[in-house]
């Protein structure tokens, strides 16, 4: 991925989708400010978006869970895309110096969990 793409700010579509808003063709229902999210979460969202992930969502669990702070959720349309989304998230974060603590479910690709400690990426 080029340096331009890596440092590109989140598009309004990604911002809206990341907060659970539905993205309608060409428009979005809300513009959300994701500047409060950790840069690693923003990179994970951009990586998933680059692989055409659907229904990007970030759940803030800081008030209700002690095992992680955020869930990043992405949906793919088939097993191959689910693996591609997971691969891109792992690769992008690895390039920026963050390695996953563990990856589960990759072979079956029905639900891939990528654990980064303070946030967990789920790809369905």
Task: Tell me which residue has tokens 């229904």.
Answer: 55
pLDDT, residue 47, reads 96
Q: For the chain, which ranges sit under pLDDT 70? A: 1-35
- pLDDT reported for residue 38: 87
Compute the distance between CA of residue 29 and CA of residue 22 in angstroms, rounded to an integer. Answer: 7
The pLDDT of residue 48: 96
| H or E segment to which residue 44 belongs | helix 39-50
Predicted model pTM: 0.74
pLDDT tens digits, 22-42 = 333 233 333 455 667 889 999
pLDDT digit string (tens) for 7-23?
555 555 555 555 544 33
Work out the end-to-end distance of the chain between its first and last CA atoms, rounded to an integer number of angstroms. Answer: 24
What are the tokens at 32?
Answer: 């959300």
């Amino acid at each position: 991925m080029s340096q331009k793409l890596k440092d590109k700010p989140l598009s309004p579509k990604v911002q809206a989708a990341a907060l659970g808003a539905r993205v309608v063709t060409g428009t979005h229902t809300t513009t959300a400010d994701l500047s409060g999210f950790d840069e690693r979460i923003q990179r994970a969202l951009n990586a998933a978006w680059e692989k055409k992930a659907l229904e990007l969502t970030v759940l803030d669990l800081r008030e209700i869970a002690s095992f992680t702070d955020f869930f990043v959720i992405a949906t793919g349309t088939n097993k191959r895309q689910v693996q591609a989304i997971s691969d891109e998230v792992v690769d992008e974060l690895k390039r920026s110096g963050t390695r996953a603590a563990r990856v589960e479910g990759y072979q079956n690709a029905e639900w891939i969990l990528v654990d980064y400690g303070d946030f967990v990426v789920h790809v369905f």
